[in-house]
Amino acid sequence: MLKVSFVILLTVMASTFAMDNMHHVDLGLVLGSPVSVRLFFLLLTSFLVGCLLATLMNLYLGAKSEKQGEVAQKTEEEDFFSE
């Protein structure tokens, strides 16, 4: 019951936020003339791009640290057997 209440509350808050930010804003890009978009979609797109970049960075750093761990482990084994 608590989870259902939380989901309903979150949905109401998101809907209120969306309705409150539906006015048009001008988005000036580097090239071309300004484009009129709804503020909600601009915020949503920015949030989703940020989530995507954070996920990709997390995957990259995880793979990098895993690879460095393998290199460090091989180096320790080589040092042990070379003495």
Phi and psi at residue 21, in whole multiples of 5°? -115, 40
Between 6 and 66, residue with greater pLDDT: 6
pLDDT at 44: 87
Per-domain residue ranges for the chain? 2-82
With b meaning 16 or more CB within 10 Å and e meaning fewer, what string describes 38-59?
eebeeeeeeeeeeeeeeeeeee
Q: Round to whole Å and give the CA distance between 4 and 40.
A: 25
Question: 0.85 cut: is pTM over it?
Answer: no
pLDDT at 70: 63
pLDDT tens sequence across 14-69:
888 888 888 999 988 888 899 999 888 888 899 899 999 999 999 988 888 777 76
Give the chain's length. 83
pLDDT at 68: 72
Phi and psi at residue 31, in whole multiples of 5°? -110, 140
Q: Please, which pLDDT band fits residue 81 given cuts at 50, 70 and 90?
A: low
